[in-house]
Amino acid sequence: MSGLRDNVAALREPEFRKLFIGQAVSMLGTMLTMVALPFAVLEIGGSATEIGLVEAAYILPMALMITVGGVWADRLERRKVMLAADLMRMALTFTTAGLLLAGVLTVPVLLLLQVGMGLCDAFFRPAYTGLVPQVVSSARLQQANALQGLVTSGSVTLGAAVGGLLVAAVGAGWAIGIDACTFFVSALFLWRLRPGPVRTSPEGAPAPAAPGFLADLRLGWREFTTHTWLWVMVAGASVFLLTVEAPLTVLGPIVARDSYDGAKTWGFLAAALGVGQIVGGVAALRWRPRRPFLVLSCGMSLTALPMAMLATTAPTWALLAAGATLGVVWGMFDPFWLTVMQREVPPEMISRVSSYDYLGSLAFFPLGLAIAGPVADLVGVSTTLWVGAGMSVAVSLFWLSWRDVRAVHEMGPSRAGAAG
């Protein structure tokens, strides 16, 4: 029992506990929408290409505006930035659900609503990355990131299974409506949150305020490019999202509809991925590998497994097993990645640097979502998925080819020092 208490010691810190609970509820709702949205497009007469366009309508504005969100998250109180974003997302999601249930939602309107969701996330995500070190002590930072990863994993598991059943039973509109309610719950916890001040690096005093917005952007870019491991990993992630994640996101529901049991199978695949992520997240609570990025670089090649299973329409049990195996690696990715970044980047610049992380990773994702359907129409769904499987291995080899990536050591003391 003492070992279990040690693994979740970050939850004894009241401000982190508030953030944790609010995000746990919100992530559960988000997973419902992730399962429901492709089937909402199909429900209103859309195609595989339009599924990709709807996904791209969310990703593109987020990618374009996330550096702006990063600057403002470093300039303003991060909690208030996240609170405003949550309230806007609640309104947009309620609108989507209402129009869908009323039978008047169209693809163009859904595209506009997703643009709004992407803009909100452009401000929420960098603010969140910067807020975590303000609500938990430095010694428990990796544990806090691992616990938040477990929130995502548990939400994937429960939300995907429930979302698939909900969509199959009553349609996508109700699942999306529940998601809107969870944004309200998250906003309530953010309202009650009292984060500590932004801690500065022990090397010296905080950097003087930049003279303007563009200067803030330049300082963030300079810090981002200083760390070779950072921009190399982000470059690989950009290719991965373009050639692997985008085809899986767009074509997976189509294969599930045509060759499996539709939304149920797609939801259960996401749930299997979530089960694996829980296992990986639990491991990340205590395990500190000497070369964390070596582990991640090797493990990401396992994305080839579910891609291959879908390409060959393997038995459902094999598809779910592949998803669970991949999930173990994905469950460790954020705890290791975020902890290294939060420790190595000055706290007063973390939101800006994380925004460049998001921007670089997402740069070509909208393109991948938009062309996945047409490419599959041209060369076939199976071929497109096989190419994606091969590219997941290629990205892993690219990361491993860089000494700076292989050499990143076990997470050490935070540059921010211990929390007061």
Render pLDDT for 285-341 as a digit per residue (tens, 0 to 9).
Answer: 777 788 888 888 888 888 889 889 999 988 989 999 998 888 888 888 888 888 888
Instruction: Examine residue 382 and state whether it is found in any structural domain, yes or no.
Output: yes
Instruction: Examine residue 235 and state whether it is found in any structural domain, yes or no.
Output: yes
* Helices 141-170/316-344 angle, 10° precision: 140
Instruction: Examine residue 206 and state whether it is found in any structural domain, yes or no.
Output: no
Tokens of 402: 């860089």
Instruction: Examine residue 367 and state whether it is found in any structural domain, yes or no.
Output: yes
The SS3 of residue 47 is: coil
pLDDT over 90, % of the chain: 22
pLDDT-wise least confident of 109-123, 167-181, 190-204, 208-222 = 190-204
Instruction: Examine residue 411 and state whether it is found in any structural domain, yes or no.
Output: no
Instruction: Examine residue 198 and state whether it is found in any structural domain, yes or no.
Output: no
Q: Which residues have CB under 8 Å from 73's CB, separation 6+?
A: 81, 123, 126, 127, 130, 351, 352, 355
The SS3 of residue 37 is: helix
Q: Which residues have CB under 8 Å from 334's CB, separation 6+?
A: 145, 148, 149, 152
- Burial track 103-136 (b if 16+ CB lie within 10 A, e otherwise): eebebeebeebbbbbbbbbbbbbbbbbbbbbbbb
Instruction: Examine residue 2 and state whether it is found in any structural domain, yes or no.
Output: no
Closest CA to 316 of 242, 259, 395: 259
Give the count of domains, the chain. 1
| Amino acid at the residue 168 | A
Say how far apart CA 222 and CA 218 lie, in whole Å: 6
Interval 163-176: pLDDT, tens: 777 787 777 888 89
Residue 403, pLDDT > 80, answer yes
Closest CA to 266 of 31, 100, 107: 31
- Compute the mean pLDDT over every residue in the chain, rounded to the nearest whole number: 83
Residue 208, pLDDT > 70, answer no
Say how far apart CA 316 and CA 195 lie, in whole Å: 45
- For 228-255, what is the mean pLDDT? 90
pLDDT band at 1, cuts 50/70/90?
A: very low
Residue 35, pLDDT > 90, answer no
Interval 57-82: pLDDT, tens: 888 888 888 888 888 888 888 899 99
Q: Which residues have CB under 8 Å from 2's CB, separation 6+?
A: none
Contact 125, 66 (CB under 8 A): yes
Say how far apart CA 243 and CA 365 lie, in whole Å: 8
Greater pLDDT, 410 or 191: 191
Instruction: Examine residue 201 and state whether it is found in any structural domain, yes or no.
Output: no
Say how far apart CA 210 and CA 220 lie, in whole Å: 11
CATH number at 21 reads: 1.20.1250.20
Q: Which residues have CB under 8 Å from 389's CB, separation 6+?
A: 244, 303, 304, 305, 307, 308, 311
**Containing structural domain, residue 59:** 13-193+213-406
pLDDT band at 410, cuts 50/70/90?
A: low
